[in-house]
Amino acid sequence: MFEVNISQDIDTVNYRSLAQQLSGLLSGERDFIANSAQFSAFIYQALPVLNWAGFYLYDGKELVLGPFQGKVACVRIPLGRGVCGSAALRQETILVTDVHAFDGHIACDSASNSEIVLPILKDNRLIGVFDIDSPQLARFSERDQAGLEGLLSIYKESTDFPVM
């Protein structure tokens, strides 16, 4: 069985070690759904104080719920709506210290207080976003953003995306 090293402390998450573990986990498999499911489970297991982690995938029109860990969530998000739709439209990471202060935030789970959404771009094409929610205010730092962008790069390099 593959063991994920879980960090208890938000400030000491070892992203270098997580990058090595993720490379090992995804090596030898390029299937889009399998790797996306593993990636969301890996993030949810490896990072402390989360209540949701998963994909919203761009279908050419809007974002549609993909593989995730956590409670059931809203299924469709138009581009430009909420944190996910804004990150997809702007094609940049959005780090939200307090979701209640973000204009247009979509509350899927009332437990969420902070959030980070990373866009997934492959060869300039929008694949979707990866959304991570926390019940703790200001859970995500710029260090987390850099670490997560690195992990997302490993996922992208390890995966074949469907041709649309």
Q: Is 118 in the site for ligand SME (CB under 6 A)?
A: no
Contact window for ligand SME (CB under 6 A) among 9-17, 43-51, 70-78, 155-163: 70-78
Q: Across the beta sheet with 76-78, what order do the strands follow?
A: 76-78, 62-70, 52-58, 125-134, 114-122, 94-96
Closest C-alpha to 22, from 9, 40, 8, 7 = 40
Question: What residues does 55 pair with on adjacent strands?
Answer: 130
- What length is written for the chain? 164
Contact window for ligand SME (CB under 6 A) among 3-11, 34-42, 78-86, 149-157: 78-86
| Gap between the Cα atoms of 3 and 96, Å rounded | 30
C-beta neighbour count of 140 within 10 angstroms: 24
Contact window for ligand SME (CB under 6 A) among 10-18, 26-34, 101-109, 147-155: 101-109
- How many CA atoms does the CB half-sphere of 105 hold within 13 Å? 22
Beta carbon nearer to ligand SME, 87 or 154: 87
The residue whose Cβ lies closest to ligand SME is 82
The maximal CA–CA distance of the chain, rounded, in angstroms, is 43
Q: Is 73 in the site for ligand SME (CB under 6 A)?
A: yes
Q: Is 55 in the site for ligand SME (CB under 6 A)?
A: no
Could you tell me the smallest distance in angstroms from the CB atom of residue 37 to ligand SME? 16
Beta carbon nearer to ligand SME, 83 or 126: 83
Q: Is 106 in the site for ligand SME (CB under 6 A)?
A: yes
User: Residues in contact with ligand SME, total (CB under 6 A)?
Assistant: 14
Q: Is 44 in the site for ligand SME (CB under 6 A)?
A: no
